[in-house]
Chain A
Amino acid sequence: MSVKRKRNLSATIALLPTWFAAVVVFVGTMAWSIRLSFTNSTLFPSSTYVGLAQYSKLFASAKWLASLQNVLVFGVLYVAGCLVLGFLLAAALDRKIRFESAFRTIFLYPYAMSFVVTGLIWQWMLNPTLGIQASVRSLGWEGFVLDWVVNRDMAIYALVLAGVWQGAGLVMVIALAGIRGIEAEQWKAARIDGIPVWRIYVSIILPQLGPALAAAGMLLAMGVIKTYDIVVAMTNGGPGNATEVPAKFIMDNLFGRQNLGLATAGATVLVLGVIIAVAPFRYAMHMRNQAKGAA
């Protein structure tokens, strides 16, 4: 016993900084923020509790409601877009393609770049007076319209376009690794049965890629909740509130508008959202691991 104690002592000491970070930073600051969300703090933290007043103010705010709606539309289309395009690219690359590694390099490079860079590139491409729209019009197609970044109804799709451009390569890499891991026997059997290639991808390959694609989707979805940089760089929330997102709403109220109570209430709602979104997955994984252990 005493030997074991001594052995573990160094390990315990080595983990102390991490304990500090986990308890003080992750738990402590979160508790602090949540507490602030129940006070009337504005520029400075206050200890006057106002119950759920900040929350009712939050959900009465048109900007916050717009930001929730925007992040939902953006999130669904961005994650779905990345998954679909990424899987299609992976399936196509799996077909004994010449220059496969060149294609792979091209499809993944945007993922190496920051959201700020991605946002600025697409802001430029979609600039209605000098970008793609102007170029196509000068070719003679005078009525051509591609004004997404300045159009209230389309700005959110401009973000989706840029996001999918940035993230589809990641899904491609994950899907391609998954496809290559599937046994050749299954292919032979399916080919003997005369199943067309596309059906094999849809009915045999795709289901087996489920866990890998789900993991990629999860990762992208976590990114969606944090979406901030790409919006700041590309549209700064505009036009109007068309591309306002919760993370940006919180940042603006924290540091720009000195509205601490409201900002922390928003952050608390985001955290609740993440927990609600992640909990079922964690539970399913936990149950699956237990089932594995029992078998």
Chain B
Amino acid sequence: MNQPHPNGPKPARITAGRIGLYAFLVGAALFFLLPLYTMVVTSLKSMDEIRLGQIFALPATLDFSAWVTAWSGACMGTVCVGIRSGFWNSVAITIPSVALSVFIGAVNGYALSLWRPRGANALFGLLMTGGLIPYQIFLYPMVRAMANIGLYNSLAGIILVHVIFGLPLVTLLFRNYFVSVPEELCKAARVDGAGFWRIFFEIMLPIALPMVVVVSMLQFTGIWNDFLLGLVFAGRDNLPMTVQLNNIVNTTMGERTYNVNMAATILTAIVPLAIYFLSGRWFVRGIAAGAVKG
């Protein structure tokens, strides 16, 4: 048990403790990887092979037909058009929602922390309370209100809902970021005659770029993975991928095509996973910021 702190030198000897440590980590890694592995091999098998009940076995031959079906032919109830439309719906919902909520959140954070207009604290308190409360209490009146203004079951409607329900978190993160920006910077710019918006666009937004990336990451995965709001507000023509996926898998009539289901599941997970693998550190910072500050 002569292990140094991470700052110290590498341990020279292999001890029972080290072996146990690696055994634990490798075991945990298997637990975390097994579902991903299972999804991938299942999606590549034929139904005959799946019926053998060898969930972990490698596919006998690589068969991508389940992927093709999942993308363009899988059935949701009686409609068999695949998850393709859900994918594009999710893109159409997520991109404007992220852009808008990040922009409004940045403006809010900047106004609340550096300008502190009257009522700033009250607004912030209201937002934070709103962020804590379960969505279920907002849903029915929101549906009615959206129907009244003609936005229920529309793309614009679901985007608006995502922006509104994203406000508490994005505002919080930007406010905390701008609080650490020296107030002198703002004052100096004001002395030079710059106004609210000019200071925002020319000084504060560039300074906050790292936060913009972090919050965008957080919002992107959050909105892409949303199920509840999409289900309630998007309407049949704009259902996001998560809702369509659940319909494909859980409302199937007749025999379940597990290979198609797993291919569709992978297709739904692939965008957030790609973001996670490609952006690594930023993603981690995003969820850590969301977790610790939220």
Segment with Cβ contacts to A, from B71-79, B91-99, B123-131, B151-159: B123-131
From B138, B246, B249, give the contact of A25 (CB < 8 A): B138
Segment with Cβ contacts to B, from A46-54, A57-65, A111-119, A147-155: A111-119
**Whole-angstrom CA separation of A94 from B51 in the bound complex:** 43
B177 within 8 A of A: no
Is A116 touching B242 in the complex (CB atoms < 8 A)? yes
Is A26 touching B288 in the complex (CB atoms < 8 A)? no
A206 within 8 A of B: no
Is B242 touching A229 in the complex (CB atoms < 8 A)? yes
From B10, B54, B272, B284, give the contact of A96 (CB < 8 A): B10
**Whole-angstrom CA separation of A93 from B21 in the bound complex:** 9
A233 within 8 A of B: yes
A177 within 8 A of B: yes
Is B132 touching A130 in the complex (CB atoms < 8 A)? no
**Whole-angstrom CA separation of A116 from B261 in the bound complex:** 12
Interface string of A79-119 (1 = CB under 8 A from B): 00000010011001111110000010111111111111100
A18-B104, A121-B35, A170-B291 known; A114 vs B227 contact (CB < 8 Å): yes
Most chain B beta carbons < 10 A, residue from A124, A268, A270: A124
Residues facing A in B220-272 (CB within 8 A) are 221, 224-228, 232, 242, 245-246, 249-250, 258, 261-262, 265, 268-269, 272
Segment with Cβ contacts to A, from B58-66, B107-115, B208-216: B107-115
Q: Count residues on chain B whose CB falls below 8 Å from chain A CBs.
A: 100
Q: Distance (Å) between the CB of B162 and the closest chain A CB?
A: 12
Q: Distance (Å) between the CB of A276 and the closest chain B CB?
A: 12
**Whole-angstrom CA separation of A228 from B246 in the bound complex:** 13
Q: Interface residues of A toward B: which range?
A: 35 or more
* A68: chain B residues within 8 A (beta carbon): none
Q: Distance (Å) between the CB of A52 and the closest chain B CB?
A: 17
A32-B141, A225-B134, A271-B133 known; A12 vs B265 contact (CB < 8 Å): no
B206 within 8 A of A: no
Is B140 touching A264 in the complex (CB atoms < 8 A)? yes
Interface string of B116-146 (1 = CB under 8 A from A): 1111100100110110111111111110110
* B276: chain A residues within 8 A (beta carbon): 108-109, 112
The contact sample of 29 A-B pairs, CB cut-off 8 A, is A7-B196, A10-B115, A11-B111, A11-B117, A11-B196, A15-B120, A17-B104, A18-B123, A21-B167, A26-B130, A29-B141, A32-B140, A33-B138, A92-B24, A105-B280, A114-B224, A116-B227, A116-B268, A134-B53, A134-B54, A135-B55, A135-B56, A173-B287, A191-B5, A222-B294, A225-B134, A251-B228, A267-B136, A274-B132
**Shortest 10 CB-CB contacts between residues of A and residues of B:** A134-B53, A114-B225, A26-B130, A10-B196, A11-B115, A29-B141, A112-B276, A187-B5, A32-B141, A229-B227
Residues of A within 8 A of B (CB): 7-8, 10-12, 14-15, 17-19, 21-23, 25-30, 32-34, 36, 45, 85, 88-89, 92-97, 103, 105-117, 120-125, 129-132, 134-135, 137-138, 165, 169-170, 173-174, 177, 180, 184, 187-188, 191, 196-197, 212, 215-216, 219, 222, 225-226, 228-229, 232-233, 236, 247, 250-251, 254-255, 260, 263-264, 266-268, 270-271, 274, 278
